[in-house]
Amino acid sequence: MILKKLIQLPLLLMCLNMVACQSQQTATPLFPTYTCLKTTAPIILDGKLDEADWQNAQITEPKTLFSPKTPVDIPSTKVRFLWDDDNLYVAFECQDLDVFSYSDQHDAQLWRGDVSEIFLKPSPDKNHYYEFVIAPNGTLYDAQYPSRGAGSMHRFKKWSSNAKIVSQIQGTDNNWHDDDQGYIIEMAIPKSAFKDSGSFKAGDQWTYGACRYDYGKDHEKQLLIMTMPEAPHSGYHYYENYFPIVFKEK
């Protein structure tokens, strides 16, 4: 009897181990890594993501509802990254029933209307990070912050990345009487924009956050949606929860 149990025990442990391995393989990691591929052909900034490189790019989807705290239907958001020797490319594909751009003024408080946002933090050892906020009409707010505590946006939005953006709205901007489908953002950020942090090269790992503000005629409150898990404070600026992004040559 004891011998039988001794034989059964390793078998049982082996089975448990197999189940554990299977669940590890299928579970989504809490901080999934984005592999940012180098382009194989030029990216044409036209608000269309029909380039083969965009089609082959990994998709990351902001799905955490930061606000409101009551459950609501979260509109689809698909975010992609690519890079080449000159630029970091970012694309947003946003489902949005009621598209609303707050301003066409560079560095205005665009998040008073619909926006897509990218945060990039080059180093885990430094507090330095970048913010790019893009309205559906292609207007940009950009800022780099030496740290979260270094002062308000008024101080740091003076920086300009010289990013180029072409957007395409599927529907009508600032007209709540009709139903829209959404909008696409196609953006090229020159590598020179990141010179204060040494920019990036193949093999480097940064972290990123991809977020949205979505105002709409059907929303009781504007939706704040982010890739990151729920943060205890700082909202979109809680870079401790940003996901890894690795720059890969091929």
Intra-chain end-to-end CA distance of the chain, in Å: 58
Positions 186 through 205 that interact with Ca ion (CB under 5 A)? none
Positions 95 through 134 that interact with Ca ion (CB under 5 A)? 96, 98, 107, 114
What DSSP string describes 184-233?
A: EEEEEEEGGGGGGGT---TT-EEEEEEEEEE--TT-SS-EEEESSPPPSS
Positions 157 through 176 that interact with Ca ion (CB under 5 A)? 157, 160
Using the contact rule CB under 5 A, the part of the chain among 115-123, 126-134, 197-205, 209-217 near Ca ion is 209-217
Give dist(CA 119, CA 130) in Å, integer.
Answer: 6
97 or 246, CB closer to Ca ion? 97
211 or 243, CB closer to Ca ion? 211
Choice from 75, 146, 190, 216 touching Ca ion (CB under 5 A): 216
Cα-only R_g, the chain: 21
| Nearest of 139, 40, 125 to residue 84 by alpha carbon | 40
96 or 117, CB closer to Ca ion? 96
What is the pattern of x (binds Ca ion, CB under 5 A) and - over residues 68-97?
----------------------------x-
Distances (CA, A) of 133 to 16, 102, 106, 202, 211: 47, 12, 10, 25, 9
93 or 214, CB closer to Ca ion? 214
Q: How would you classify the pairing of strands 34-38 and 243-248?
A: parallel
Give dist(CA 219, CA 99) in Å, integer.
Answer: 12
216 or 244, CB closer to Ca ion? 216
Max CA distance (Å), the chain:
81
Give dist(CA 115, CA 138) in Å, integer.
Answer: 9
Q: Does 53 bind Ca ion (CB under 5 A)?
A: no
Q: What is the residue type of 85?
A: D
Using the contact rule CB under 5 A, the part of the chain among 150-158, 171-179, 222-230, 239-247 near Ca ion is 150-158
Q: Site for Ca ion (CB under 5 A): how many residues?
A: 13
Choice from 14, 19, 44, 202 touching Ca ion (CB under 5 A): 44
93 or 98, CB closer to Ca ion? 98
Chain residues binding Ca ion by CB under 5 A are: 44, 46, 48, 96, 98, 107, 114, 142, 157, 160, 214-216
